[in-house]
Amino acid sequence: MTIGWHFDNSYSKLSKTFKEDIKPTPVHEPELVILNEELAKNLNLNFSGIDKKKLAEIFSGNSLPDGTNSIAQAYAGHQFGHFTMLGDGRAVLLGEHIDNKNQRFDIQFKGSGRTSFSRGGDGRAALGPMLREYIISEAINALNIPTTRSLAVVKTGEKVVRENLLNGAILTRVASSHIRVGTFQYIAATQNLEDLNTLVDYTIDRHYPEIKSSKNKALDLLSLVMEKQCQLVINWMRVGFIHGVMNTDNMTISGETIDYGPCAFMDQYDPKTVFSSIDKFGRYAFSNQPPITKWNLARFAECLIPLIDKDEDAAIKIATNLIDNFQNIYEEKWLNMMRDKLGLFGEDKDDLTLINKLLDWMKNNNADYTNTFCYLMGVDFDDEIYKNEGFKSWINEWQKRVKLNNSSDTYLELMKKNNPFIIPRNQKVEEALADADKGNLETMNKLLKVLSNPYSDQKNIIEFQKPAPIGNEKYQTFCGT
């Protein structure tokens, strides 16, 4: 029985500056927790003839598939604004799997042991954070937002020391690549122009082949990455997702969401919402995600200055003009996204006022972000908040605007494409993780099933749609490192 792995490892062929050759550290007693069969099928992999013990050996790194050439990647990053030389401190890239459509995917272990980049860490991961990444990354994928995905999670049979002793685990992450803004920062910091050119060419070959013959590849790469990242954050804002740790090493050049550490979805609408326990000053709050995206892109631009123009002053001016346009691009995309959420066709001069009135009402009344749009699509939550006179008045304005450029119920079709009926509610995620830690996966599997179809008004899902009650204790998420 062949699984169908087809490895072709181009990144590992780059010079030593880019990586460390290393194998995953074997674990004591691996046990398969979950395998993403749908993703496996998409990757043209077939695990049906492999027993659970063998699967656990494969996804723990105790038994590596043929063709792998495992490495830890080097990268740097601005973490909460402070520059640090980093690298894969607890991750190992097995290689690049080519599927039957000739698409290339990184297969990476997270929690697979120490590397030279571990900086004193144990190189391991705990079960809870790995299952959180599995749940949220699969939910983001179902929401039609570009993301890395999770192929499997195994328990290692070993404990990891955090605040308490926790079950150790390894996640298998799938990405179109793990090239980050931080990868460019690392290479730029070495001041080796040849390596920087190599990285630009490699990235373009892999992700943006349409600009291979460009006269200014670095500038065009910056422009395309800015467009991708702008669209990504628009999608996060659309569904109320808060990444929580938007360091430059967590911004991919491919435009995929990566690193589901202290991430969560917003319940009651508040632009200042922060869940991360380590984000003391709200740097990565919900409303700060667009300006932080721009800030990260500016750091990317700095890396490319030597390649944009031989005259440094000219290069800085060109890059600055490009980055400064981010706000205009974002504002236009955001306005159109909010029009889609409200089923508004065409443009009207009062659209921004109408949208801001709704957001202000939601904030002032602690209204749930997701459920308010569901209510507008006809879902009856029997919630007194939607009988509020201010809300009724706004609905009258909205209904008049809906009729302006729309003669039928197509506005509802537009809304249903852009507003999920279901998101990973924080309390439901915590319930699933708590049960999984005790060996009961039923809660998690039920949650995953509901989350797999977020734009469908499924039957009997009200328990998954309710936000957690507003309490005195603030919900917090943690990095897991």
Please give the pLDDT value at position 80: 86
Structure tokens at 347: 């443009």
Q: Residue 481's pLDDT is what?
A: 56
Pairing of strands 125-126, 165-175: antiparallel
Are 72 and 88 within 8 A, CB to CB? yes
Three-class DSSP category at 161: strand
φ, ψ for residue 167, nearest 5 deg: -65, 130
Active-site residue flag, 249: yes
The candidate with the shortest Cα–Cα distance to 421, out of 412, 411, 433, is 412
- DSSP-assigned beta bridge partners for residue 155: 31, 169
Are the CB atoms for 93 and 148 separated by under 8 Å? no
Please enumerate in sequence order all residues whose Cβ is within 8 A of that of 93, keeping only pairs 6 or more positions apart, or say none. Answer: 11, 12, 19, 70, 71, 72, 73, 106, 107, 108, 178
Surface-to-core class of residue 120, CB atoms within 10 Å of its CB (0-12 exposed, 13-18 middle, 19+ buried)? exposed
Round to whole Å and give the CA distance between 268 and 56.
Answer: 40
What is the reported pLDDT for 70?
97
Q: Which residue has tokens 């009651």?
A: 268
**Is the separation of the CB atoms in 315 and 306 below 8 Å?**
yes
| Integer Cα distance of 397 and 385 in angstroms | 18
Whether this prediction's pTM lies above 0.85 is answered by: yes
**58 phi, psi to nearest 5 deg:** -65, -50
Q: Report the C-alpha gap between 288 and 283 in whole angstroms.
A: 7
Regions of the chain with pLDDT less than 50: none
Give the model's pLDDT for residue 1: 52
Catalytic, out of 88, 106, 249, 259: 249
The DSSP call for residue 24 is P
Give 276's DSSP letter. B
DSSP state of 18: G
Burial bucket for residue 301 (CB in 10 Å: 0-12, 13-18, 19+): buried
